[in-house]
Chain A
Amino acid sequence: MVKADNVKKDYTIGKVVVHALRGVTIDVEQGEFMSIAGPSGSGKTTLLNLIGCLDTASAGEIYIDGQAVSGRSKNELALLRREKLGFVFQSFNLIPVLTAIENVSFALSLLGLDSDTVQKKSMQIMEEVGLKGLEKRFPNELSGGQQQRVAIARALVKDPGIVLADEPTANLDSNTGKDILKLMEELNKKHKTTFIFSTHDSMVMDFAHRLVQLHDGLIAKNGVGKGGGK
């Protein structure tokens, strides 16, 4: 599903070169519920960005469904993200002028689907994430947890193979964060969608079925997580 092969990423800040990833190799199978954990600066967000084709590796290769992503044009990468990847962000990143349902529909309208299909699928996913009846609300009329549910619906509505979530609970209180993680776990089971989180929150790590720990840009631990928040 996803493979990172000896991936390295360097940033130049002024005259200093920062080695964010020093050679990470990882395989993620379809339907995994995986967490990339580590302290600040360990390279977890960088790895997530590379897998999400939001950034390019300095060396090594990322494969999505067996196909290398390096060398692709900006438009090709945009199409890849549009069709195969869903994103959930720490600060939700909903479009404030659109209602909840419109935010969800946005992902589908990029695929050029007809409006009936867009409407039907959007309503269905809204119900799945527990937001039935709140479709017409604007983001500022929703709580943080509800906004993150909209973001999850937006990521899942197009049936992507992979959902990448960067610190999805960081802006939520612990109870709401737990609810969100349970929801994602349920959806992972139901849709067989691969979920990859980056986090330094132990609660998120506890939910992960597989835990990859990064330290100074290298994999420090790659093993089975507790799963289910145990």
Chain B
Amino acid sequence: MKFLISLAWKNLSRYRRRTIITAVAIAIGIALYIWIDALLLGAEMETVRNLIYFETGPARIMQKKYWEEKDYMLISYYLEDPAAIQAELKKEGYESTQRISFLGNIMNLEQQEGSFQIKMAAIDAKTDGVVFKLEDGIVPENGRFLESGEPEIIIGKDLAEDLDIKLDDWVLVTTKTAGDVYGEAGSWDDLELKVVGLLSTPNPLINKGMAFIPLDYAKQRLMRGQGATDVIVNFPAGADSGSEVEKIKAAIAGLPGAGDWEVLDYKELAREFIMLASTKSGGSKIILFLFFIIAVIGISNTMLMAVFERVKEIGMMRAMGMKDRAIVWAFFLEATGIGFVGSLVGLVLGILLTAYMVIWGLDFSGMIQGMGNIGYRTAGVFKGWWNFDTMLSAFFMGIIISGLVSFIPALRAVRMQITECLRDK
């Protein structure tokens, strides 16, 4: 075995240029895979974070009917006493806030032309920060956060641009109120609101298509002073959302009407994105497959050439009594050696690329703005995420596959007659 390893090493050194070219092909394949995986995973993790911090919150309590018709965001299906729910949750140590989430048509009041239907939320300016990070999305030059009781609005920066709205402008929001009876749709109402802040968050969906108004003002105008469509509950990042949901359900189970409520974690609330992410994960596996194909073709070609160039040498070794198995091993070790060098270089390159992605990221903002909603909730700078499982598996797969592909030409060589090998030109 020592001799075989030594022979394999010497052959790698002897065909240095070919070894380097093949190792580089493997290295590029592995580095690109690690990099793309880090990029996709980073985008996914960032999206989950931005979903939780800006859109869904960790978990939500709402009326089942509201959830069933979630596309319409009907505020007539509201929680009658959200404060009671919050109080029960508080007893169990959960921080929460309440919102009224609804659809509204927004228009520039001055220009009075063109309107967009957008998602809106009436938020409790005092408690919203315990769950969401909206307030971080307003820098001083873009105004301020909402104050209670005022007819004011903060809107996404990109939406403001589309509507040609600036700070201190007035907008008109048309929406439907809740009816007099629970579940009954009310009448259309126009809200004239002053723009006090422009949101620039890491979540492009917020920037592009959402607006927020004070909860107490919305309650007066839309809900006859009471109720909210959602209670959004916070729980620690990294906690198992499924078991947290169960705990939340247990905490509010004793409240009147609890049977009509739905408690959903962010995974359920953003199921479309989760499905999209899993599809993209499948896509990254296809990319992995393609990169490995590149590496496999590279090393197969190298080993084929190595065998064809050394048929006579193989014949001599067999004539001298070297067993076929040992010859196959010799080629296996040689290919594994190339695979090891290539995979190691690929791993180091992949780590460096991932480090760049984790620290600085890549700015796709120009591209994303033009593309609209691509599923990912990242505002433009895609940051990477360390995935050591992928790194290790890519490294070892590079070595293993390199070794395995050597079997075909090596077996072919030892199937030849020794005399045929010795006659080879």
**Which A residues form the contact surface with B (CB < 8 A)?**
49, 52, 54-55, 74-75, 78-83, 85, 87, 89, 91, 93, 95-98, 106-107, 109-110, 154
Beyond A78-B321, A82-B320, A85-B321, list 4 extra A-B contacts (CB 8 Å).
A75-B323, A81-B321, A93-B312, A106-B317
Interchain CB contact (< 8 A) of B14 among A55, A89, A97, A109? A97
Closest residue on chain A to residue B15 by CB atoms: A97
| A87 and B14 within 8 A (CB) | no
Is the C-beta of B13 less than 8 angstroms from some C-beta in chain A? yes
Give the interface size class of chain B. 20 to 34
Q: Which residue of B lies closest to A96 (CB)?
A: B14
> Do A81 and B319 touch across chains, with their CB atoms under 8 A apart?
yes
Give B9-25 interface residues, CB cut-off 8 Å to A: 10-11, 13-14
A97, B322: Cβ atoms under 8 Å? no
Interface residue? B316 (CB, 8 A): yes
Chain A residues within an 8 Å CB radius of B318? 78
Among the stretches B152-160, B252-260, B415-423, the one at the interface with A is: B415-423
A128 to chain B, nearest CB (A): 19
Q: Give Cα A89 to B318, complex, Å.
A: 13
Chain B interface residues toward A at CB < 8 A: 3, 7, 10-11, 13-14, 312-313, 315-324, 417-419, 422
Which residues of the other chain, A, contact B320 by a CB distance below 8 angstroms?
Answer: 81-82, 87, 106-107, 110, 154
B7 touches A97 (CB 8 A): yes
Question: Which residues on A sit within 8 Å (CB–CB) of B419?
Answer: 49, 54-55
B residues less than 8 Å from A82 (CB atoms): 320-322
CA separation between A110 and B323, bound complex, in Å?
9
Rounded to whole angstroms, the CA-CA distance of A92 and B10 in the bound complex is 19
A52 contacts B7, CB within 8 Å? no
**Do A54 and B418 form a contact, CB below 8 Å, given A78-B323, A83-B321, A106-B320?**
yes
Complexed CA–CA distance, A109 and B7 (Å): 12
- Alpha-carbon distance between A83 and B320 when the two chains are bound, in angstroms: 9
Question: Of all chain A residues, which has the CB nearest B320?
Answer: A107
A85 smallest CB distance to B (angstroms): 8
- Show 5 A/B contacts (Cβ-Cβ < 8 Å), sorted by A: A54-B422, A55-B417, A74-B324, A95-B316, A97-B11
Contacting residues, chain A, for B10 (C-beta < 8 A): 97-98
